[in-house]
Amino acid sequence: MREVETVLGSTVAKERCLSTTVTEVGGFDDEDGRRAYLEQYFPHDLLDTSEGKEIASRVGYWLRGRFVFNATV
């Protein structure tokens, strides 16, 4: 990690910018977190239907362990 911070902090041929190291990016590991994420994109009523529960189940299957940032890109 020190090497990454050194490279990011180098000012050779770069404009000065302050960077922030982020290590807590989530991972879709808990059901409540997945539901909160899905509620940003789906109507709340849909997630309570059988189809919505199936969508949530598939999101849990396919995205579990993936970082939230990568899953949204």
pLDDT values of the chain reduced to their tens digit, one per residue, 73 residues? 777 777 766 666 566 666 666 665 566 778 888 888 889 999 989 999 999 999 988 888 887 766 655 555 4
- Token readout for 58 is 């598939």
Closest among 17, 23, 63, 53 to 8, alpha carbons compared: 17
Distance between CA atoms of residues 27 and 40, nearest Å: 16
DSSP conformational letter for 8: H
Would you say 34 and 59 are in contact if contact means Cβ atoms under 8 Å apart? yes
- Domain spans, the chain: 25-73
